[in-house]
Structure 1
Amino acid sequence: MLVVSEEVREALAARRPVVALESTIIAHGLPRPRNLQVALELEEVVRQEGAVPATIAVLDGRPHIGLDRERLERIASAEGIRKLGHRDLPLAMAVGASGATTVSATAQLAATAGIRVFATGGLGGVHREWTATQDESADLRLLARTRITVVCAGVKSILDVPATLQRLETLGVAVAGYGTDRFPGFYLSDSGHPVDWTLRTPEEVAAVMRAQDVLRGPESALIVAHPVPEAEQLDPEVHARVLAEALRACAEKGVTGQAVTPFLLEYLVDRTGGAALRANVAAVRGNARVAARIAEAWVRR
């Protein structure tokens, strides 16, 4: 049922580096027409590093691994493009729906296609006030059972970062900072929390991936936490102030469940004059570049 583009299929067969990219940022994370520009830019960043980009989405019930320009434009501009987590994939396939894939759905489809490296922005995680809401992203459990390396800028800073790190540890998901001993905070270079391990080169990351396979342990992911450059991060004081405002507004408006994350992210973008959006794009761009280098080191093994 997977539709693997010719370029991606040939690269995998020839053991050339391939990097999976999610499509939710295109359909739901960025305004039009900036979303299509960023999608094309991310693919070009991967190509410049010598790897093949594989943007993933579901179109008319069929998961696509690698999108041509026409399909990218459809994801970026068509109405009715759903947001699909991994739980939604069989439903979308059965009814012929079209949707952009989140981290969990992208990771599952990439691993199914034989792609080992995936670049994204920020992971989902444990939500604030978890003890009352029991709200936790589906990303975490999926990554606990999927052998893929995810290059990300940490978890979204609107979440409970220390609780998310603890949850990843409980689930047995390895987390390492890339060139840093601090866990990044999506818009911020430093979330305020340390990481236990630091990897400094693509070759070191590839060595960890090989060790995962040799040990034959649980099929869990490797999280490579790559911070947005300090020069491109959202000003930490602005971030703290606007996030506090956003949380109050969320509570006052009674926003709950799956609506919380998009509400908070949109609030941050609006109230920072687009600075949060620029930091988001900078983070994803850097992650795509690092992921391509890791994928190249991986195929050299």
Structure 2
Amino acid sequence: MDLFPGAQLTKRIMKYVDIHPNVLHALSHSIPIVALESTVISHGMEYPANVETAKSLEKICIDNDCVPATIAIINGRIKVGLNEESLEILGKREGTVMKSSIRDLPYILTKKYSAGTTVACTSAIATLVGIRVFATGGCGGVHRGPDWDVSADLKALFSCPICVVSAGVKAILDIPKTVEALETNGVCVLSVGCEDFPAFYSRSSGVKSSLVAADASEAADIICTHFETLSSGVLLANPIPEKDEIPSAVIDLHISRALKECEELGIKGKDVTPFLLKRVNDLSGGSALKANIALIRNNVSVACTVAKKTVEHQVYLFSDKIE
């Protein structure tokens, strides 16, 4: 298979990658594509809400004339676009289902495990095949507390030319430090329709946004210019809809308690975020999960607007077709 110049796949890498026929067709015919991550399926929600949510996100893409490309690892194969069986494997956590950041890929592929891919890993894989727009719930970042715990998501945004549409960063993080780390690494952080940087469950974090787009359409124009001039990524910070948000004063109480419990239990590394998200949802009586689903759906809708508007940009960069 001859790949267009924007895809960095080689024959060596291709032996590990399966591209869904719908995604392959979209890549070769300049149809807008929205990449979707899979840790929300494998580690972010319980079954069957995780699979139902994943399907609803893909439907939003289709209803908006975009092709969904949910990215995951299934039995040692990188999948760009999932079928029903793969969604069930992740959702039910059948067999060994891990959480894969970039560093984990060789291990998971060699051991033939399955995995949900983080923002960092999804960004890297999407970039490999030439997908430029990616919707997630919340990006990772700098964790709270004295320990040096920084998500690889930040590094991926610096090194991958991709637009990540996210409700800011996860509220369990140290948001001011995360925003500062993004700026230090030269990542374009663009908020949509809000002067404050969004805080996942809440519309405002109290941190002022340095760059603001009036709406998704204007954001897409800025992102196209970014891709024409720079090789780094963009974090498009899209606030949760007002009707679905949880006030920061309310959610912060749950987060503080969950953080304390996490420390007391000695939970570290990649296990921290899944624990905190689940515990915060339990403490909120399930309202955190409802907000999480609402913000992801909203992010996918905005990502579709961006993807459609950047199609001409993709054609310009990747004019050769896949035969």
Could you say which TM-score interval applies, normalised by the shorter chain? over 0.9
Query: Who is 1:26 aligned against?
Result: 41
TM-score by length of 2: 0.88
What is the one-letter code of the residue matched to 1:122?
G
Structure 1 residue runs without a partner (length 5+): none
Task: Report what 2:319 is aligned to.
Answer: none
Specify the alignment match of 1:179 in structure 2.
193
Matched residue count? 297
Partner of 1:76: 91
Structure-1 separation of matches of 2:267 and 2:81: 35
The letter of the residue matching 1:112 is: L
Instruction: Give the drift of 1:287.
Output: 0.3
The 5-angstrom pairing of residues 142-181 of structure 1 reads 142-181=156-195
* 2:225 maps to 1:211: yes
| 1:43-90 CA-partner distances (Å, limit 9, x unpaired) | 001111110000001112211101122221222122321110111112
- Provide the rounded CA distance (Å) in 1 between the counterparts of 2:183 and 2:248: 27
Distance 1:59 1:300, change over 3 A: same
* 1:127 matched residue in structure 2: 143
Letter in 1 for 2:143: H
Per the alignment, residue 248 of structure 1 pairs with 260
Identity among equivalent pairs (%): 41
* Structure 1: distance between partners of 2:152 and 2:100: 11
Aligned equivalents of 2:266, 2:75: Cα separation in 1: 35
In structure 1, how many angstroms separate the alpha carbons of the residues matched to 2:95 and 2:133? 30
- Further displaced range: 158-167 or 187-196: 187-196
Q: Is the 8 A contact 1:203 1:298 kept in 2?
A: no
Task: Report the more deviating stretch, 234-243 or 247-256.
Answer: 247-256
Give 1:213 deviation, angstroms: 3.3
Paired with 1:65 and 1:177, the residues of 2 have a C-alpha distance of 28
1:1-301 aligned within 5 A: 1=14, 2-77=17-92, 78-129=94-145, 132-215=146-229, 217=230, 219-301=231-313
Structure 2 counterpart SS, 1:26: helix
Asked whether the equivalents of residues 96 and 113 of structure 2 are also in contact (C-alpha less than 8 Å), the reply is no
SS of the counterpart of 1:238? helix
Deviation at 1:197, TM superposition (A): 1.0
The verdict on how the C-alpha distance between 1:79 and 1:142 changes in structure 2, with shifts beyond 3 A counting, is: same
What is the CA RMSD across the aligned residues, in angstroms? 1.4
The answer to whether the Cα contact below 8 Å between 1:117 and 1:149 also exists between their aligned partners in 2 is: yes
2:220–2:305 contact (8 Å) kept in structure 1: no
Structure 1 residues 246, 138: closer, same or farther in 2, change over 3 A?
same
Equivalent AA in structure 2 for residue 30 of structure 1: M
Residues 46 and 91 in structure 2, CA contact (< 8 A), matched pair in contact too: no
Segments of 5+ residues of structure 2 without an aligned counterpart are 1-13, 314-323
State the alpha-carbon separation in 1 of the partners of residues 141 and 227 from structure 2: 26
